[in-house]
Amino acid sequence: MTPILEVENLEVTFNPPTGEVHAVRQVSFELQAGEILGIVGESGSGKSVSMRALLGLTPTSAIVTGSVRVDGAIGSPAESADRVRKMAALVYQNPGAALNPVFTIGFQLGLAAGTTDRAALSALLEQVGLPEPERALDAYPHEYSGGMQQRAVIALALAQEPRLLVADEPTTALDVTTEAQILDLLLRLRDEHDLSIAFISHDLAVIRRISDRVIVLKDGEVVESGATEDVLSNPQEPYTQMLVAAMPGAASPRSIDEEASAPLLELSGVTVDFRRGGRERGTNRVLDGLDLSVRRGETLTLVGESGSGKSTLANAVAGLVPQTTGSITFDGIALVDPAVRKGRRKRSSTRRDVQQRLQMVFQNPLLALSPRKSISWQLHEPQRIHTARDRTERQRCIDEMIDRLELDSTLLDRRPHELSGGQAQRVVLARALLLDPEFIVFDEPTSALDVSVQAAVLDLLAELKRDLGLTYLFITHDLAVARHLADRIAVIRKGVIAELRPTEELFANPHDPYTAALLASNAALSATKVNSTALNSTPSGAQK
Amino acid sequence: MPYLLRRLITSLLVVLGVITITFAVARIVPSDPASLYAGPRARPAQVEQVRADLNLDAPITTQYTSYLGDLAQGDLGISFASKRPIFDDIVDLFPATLELALLATLVSMLLGIPLGVIAASRRNRPRDGGLRLFAMASVSVPVFWAALLLQLFLASRLGWLPLSGRTSPDVLFDETTGFFLIDSALSGSIGNVWDVVRHLILPVTVMAAYPTGLTLRLIRGSMIDVLNEPYIEAARLAGIAERTVLYRLALKNALAPALTILGLTFAYSISSAFLVEVVFNWPGIGSYLTNAIVRLDFPVITAAALVVTVVYVMVNLLLDLVHAKIDPRVVLS
């Protein structure tokens, strides 16, 4: 069997004024007819660039070398680009952007297929499982959900009668159910058309499901390649092992960090007294000599009834409670120092250094955002204070972040009241994340949101933590939420920690009677909620 | 409430606001309308007579309401200078201005849009540089200066084009529509049409300069954005001809954001006509208003302001409707 595409020693070098960047080095692979090749790597590993270089889509300033053999005809990447383009079609990550918004799907399909025959065009749409293909021909892209748009994009690709489909993260922008459908569609098309697919993804679960062989890229180099099952079940290279370990559902990363990690945040003997005004003068002891340590990389969830001191603890950690006494240490830096006279706060410069690394997300996003300033302004401001980024750099970070949090860039010009609750909470989250924090304190971040949005936000938080290596202190009164997210749970009662144990252990066998009572009272209430959060059913996530 | 009705009502409110402001300004300026109307050599008794006749001694609120009532009936008042109803003057003169403005807008779009596309598709290459220079120059050159220079060289020195006016004195035809291009064509004489065209070339060129440069730059900018979109890359990958990609697939996307400004350039042309008409001795609203300003002919000034306002408002409304037509994502509500 001769491969339809053979690539040898592909190199792509960019030459910006800041110095050469070797985006792709010595990449070689081959692709058989009807084969699905998974191209895996983290962002920046060169997986997209290498495929784009083969299609001649890299900027003209990029230097592309190597040799490419298409159907036996061998040449440099530049010489072969036309041949590859003739044979291949591209499926994009964001289907909304890959369809021209001001023309009907039928018109675009007709141009790509070179025909105006409605029967032929609707047959194409039928093939990709778009319901009511006749009607879809006259519809505009925005009338469809992301999954349906991706089907239309695949139809557009098929219209070119390709032998090779380059799929660049085609399911990343879709929710899980739709993702599965699109993967099934691609597998079926492969069988029906003997199509080869180069499937680019950072998601190993997706790769495992769809690809026959896989190449793993790191910093532009192939570190491992082979049959998908072999590579994923028995990775040889440390990098691949790391990727596999980070895969959800595989060997749990929780158990890895659990013992080894040093505490990032340590509280000991933390006490907060609030003065009571009015007739009964005196003090309220809200936190009473509380000890707690949060390990780097974990999610510690703090549960408790209202009035138990949860929020005060969060505020004390964030430095918002000047009355705090005892000792709070963040990464070895004393925020509240027992040696310093009571009631005195730490020098503000230390605070400022730590502030950037330690961010807070509040319960009500609309109260945490200034109602009078645009979202854009509010995302610039903390960066202006805490970072050395210039305006364009800040804007770039903001664009990346809103993209990452699946916010629309049109939000930037709005004011908080023009956002939905879920959007506003994402903006607050973006504001915190823009400072590249290591530690985020969440004070009931989802209790002001409705259930479906809550699930989406929780999933997002879990994903961010995994990708950015964050540590969370998460405060909630909702045990279902706690269970969904937490590595360990601390139960707080009357200003002290009543119990602190790994999540499943605590749920299986609560030691403290107070915890047991809390669990019992929550059990009935949360039965439905556990499902909705744990099963990740986010109807709102599908539409954009 | 239907979108159109709602928009018409708000448009009416805008017009009403402008009427009120112009009315107020005309009364604040320290001059006596009665003595202006009566003329410089009128005796005080005659001035008082005029004041009573024109109802100028009535309280200001009464004057305002009766003014509104007259406007509602299409009565724009009487010119102090000519003593003719202003409405009749405007009906006579407006087509001349409209002909200039429409042609200037047409020319600026026919030139600016394709040149903008070309500049964007050759971004940062010599042709783009040349076009940007052209755009910059045509936006920056003052209208009156360009007009005088063109008159000096093309009309006076070289004698290729007529200096001013809408027709040569010996060319006569029926002014049925007031649009001389149409009227001359209706007269059936090629010579007449050619004479009208020759008279149009210089004023239209001068008026089209600014909108052409603006259009070029706007289209270039929004085309550059659109050409970076994945759907354009996808279209090119699918082997669709570059011409189709640029002028059909990309341009329609690029037009939408530029459209608002493009439409406003038409309204701008109406006001820039004032200067051009004076220089080219063009018997339109602009010349009429300029004369009125010199003579403090307030009813004419307010009426002209009103006409320009109505044109602006209507063009804006029309633009929104066209925008919705171009971009299916726009919902009028």
pLDDT at A13 over 70: yes
d(CA A126, CA A132): 8
Q: In this complex, do A99 and B229 lie within 8 Å of one another by their Cβ atoms? A: no
- The percentage of residues in chain A with a pLDDT greater than 70, rounded to a whole number, is 85
d(CA A487, CA A299): 5
d(CA A368, CA A297): 26
Q: In this complex, do B327 and A100 lie within 8 Å of one another by their Cβ atoms? A: no
What's the total number of domains in chain A? 1
3-state secondary structure of A542: helix
pLDDT at B130 over 90: yes
Question: Is A18 contained in some domain?
Answer: yes
Q: How far is B75 from chain A (nearest CA, A)?
A: 45
pLDDT at A341 over 80: no
Residues of A whose CB is below 8 A from B235: 100, 108, 111-112
pLDDT higher at B191 or B32: B191
Instruction: Tell me the whole-structure pTM to 2 decimals.
Output: 0.62
pLDDT higher at A17 or A392: A392
Mind listing the pLDDT tens digit for each residue in A177-195?
Answer: 677 888 999 999 999 989 9
For testing the chain A interface, which of B123, B231, B232 should be mutated: the one with the most A CBs within 10 Å?
Answer: B231
CB atoms within 10 A of CB A305: 15
Q: How far is A361 from chain B (nearest CA, A)?
A: 34
Average pLDDT (A270-277) is 75
pLDDT at A205 over 90: no
Question: Is A179 contained in some domain?
Answer: yes
Mind listing the pLDDT tens digit for each residue in B291-326?
Answer: 888 888 888 888 888 888 888 888 888 888 888 888
Q: In this complex, do A100 and B253 lie within 8 Å of one another by their Cβ atoms? A: yes
Picking from B243, B245, B226, the residue whose alpha carbon sits closest to that of residue B235 is B245
Q: In this complex, do A112 and B238 lie within 8 Å of one another by their Cβ atoms? A: yes
- Nearest CB among A55, A103, A140 relative to B237 is that of A55
pLDDT number for residue A249:
41
Outline where A234-334 has alpha helix (H): 238-245, 253-260, 310-317
- Nearest CB among A89, A94, A100 relative to B237 is that of A89
Domain that holds residue A82: 5-245
The confidence band for A349, taking pLDDT boundaries of 50, 70 and 90, is low
d(CA A440, CA B111): 56
Instruction: DSSP letter for A114, please.
Output: T
Question: Is A39 contained in some domain?
Answer: yes
Q: If you average pLDDT over every residue of chain A, what do you get?
A: 81
Residues of A with CB under 8 A from a CB of B: 55, 57, 85-86, 88-90, 92, 94, 97-103, 108, 111-112, 140, 142, 153, 156, 159-160
pLDDT number for residue A258:
46
Q: In this complex, do A85 and B239 lie within 8 Å of one another by their Cβ atoms? A: yes
CB atoms within 10 A of CB A4: 22
Question: Is A340 contained in some domain?
Answer: no
Q: If you average pLDDT over every residue of chain B, what do you get?
A: 86
Residues of A whose CB is below 8 A from B245: none
Q: In this complex, do B244 and A85 lie within 8 Å of one another by their Cβ atoms? A: no
**Which chain A residue is nearest to residue B328, measuring alpha carbons?**
A102
Mind listing the pLDDT tens digit for each residue in A442-480?
Answer: 988 876 666 666 777 788 888 888 888 889 999 887 777
pLDDT number for residue A457:
79
pLDDT number for residue A521:
59
d(CA A202, CA A243): 9
Prediction ipTM score:
0.76
A499-505, long-range: CB within 8 Å, 24+ apart, which pairs?
Answer: A500/A292, A502/A258, A503/A301
Instruction: DSSP letter for A255, please.
Output: H
Question: Is A495 contained in some domain?
Answer: no
The confidence band for A175, taking pLDDT boundaries of 50, 70 and 90, is low
Mind listing the pLDDT tens digit for each residue in A82-116?
Answer: 889 889 999 988 888 899 999 999 999 999 988 88
Average pLDDT (A519-533) is 45
- Assess B293–A contact: CB distance below 8 Å, yes or no: no
Interface size, chain A vs chain B, as Cβ–Cβ contacts under 8 Å: 61
The CATH code of the domain that includes A159 is 3.40.50.300
- Assess B244–A contact: CB distance below 8 Å, yes or no: yes
CB atoms within 10 A of CB A477: 17
**Which chain A residue is nearest to residue B235, measuring alpha carbons?**
A112
pLDDT at A251 over 50: no
Highest mean pLDDT among A149-153, A301-305, B59-63 belongs to A149-153
Q: In this complex, do B234 and A90 lie within 8 Å of one another by their Cβ atoms? A: yes
